[in-house]
Amino acid sequence: MTFQNRTKDDDDDDDDDENNKNEEYSKAALTARLSNYCYKNNLKELLESDGYSLVYEKYTSVTRVYIADRKIGFDEMKKEDIVERTIVARGAVWGDDQNVDRIRLSNQISKVWPTQVHPDVPVGCHTGVYEMTEEFFNEITPYIKGPDVGEEVKKLTFCGHSLGGSIAMILAAWTKLRLDVDCVKMKVNVHTYGSPNVLALDMSLLNKMEKEEKETFRGYPKSALDAIGLEESTLRAHVLSNDIVPRMWLSHDPVFNTLKSNEWGANLLKWKEETFGRRGMLTMDRFLYEVSGYLIFLELGNDNAAKRAVVKETANLETHLERLTWQLEDFTSGAQNNPLRALAPALEHNSQNYVDVMQYLAVNALLVKRKQ
User: Taking the chain (372 residues) in consecutive chunks of 10 residues, what is each chunk's mean pLDDT?
Assistant: 44 57 88 97 96 96 96 85 95 82 91 90 93 97 85 93 97 97 96 93 78 75 91 91 76 57 61 52 62 81 58 50 56 50 63 90 71 54
Residue 321 pLDDT: 55
Residue 315 pLDDT: 43
| Residue 3 maps to a domain | no
Element (H, E) at 300: strand 294-300
First to last CA, the chain: 26
Residue 298 pLDDT: 83
Residue 19 pLDDT: 66
What's this model's pTM, rounded to 2 decimal places? Answer: 0.82
Residue 248 pLDDT: 73
Residue 71 pLDDT: 95
Residue 290 pLDDT: 81
CATH code at 326?
Answer: 3.40.50.1820
| Residue 258 maps to a domain | no
| Residue 302 maps to a domain | yes
Contact predicate 149/96, CB 8 Å: no
Query: Rg of the Cα trace of the chain?
Result: 22
Q: Cα–Cα distance between 102 and 93 in angstroms, integer?
A: 8
Domain count of the fold of the chain: 1
Please report, to the nearest 10 degrees, the dihedral formed by the alpha carbons of residues 129, 63, 229, 157 taken in order.
-160
| Residue 205 maps to a domain | yes
Cα angle: 319, vertex 325, 328; to 5 degrees: 170
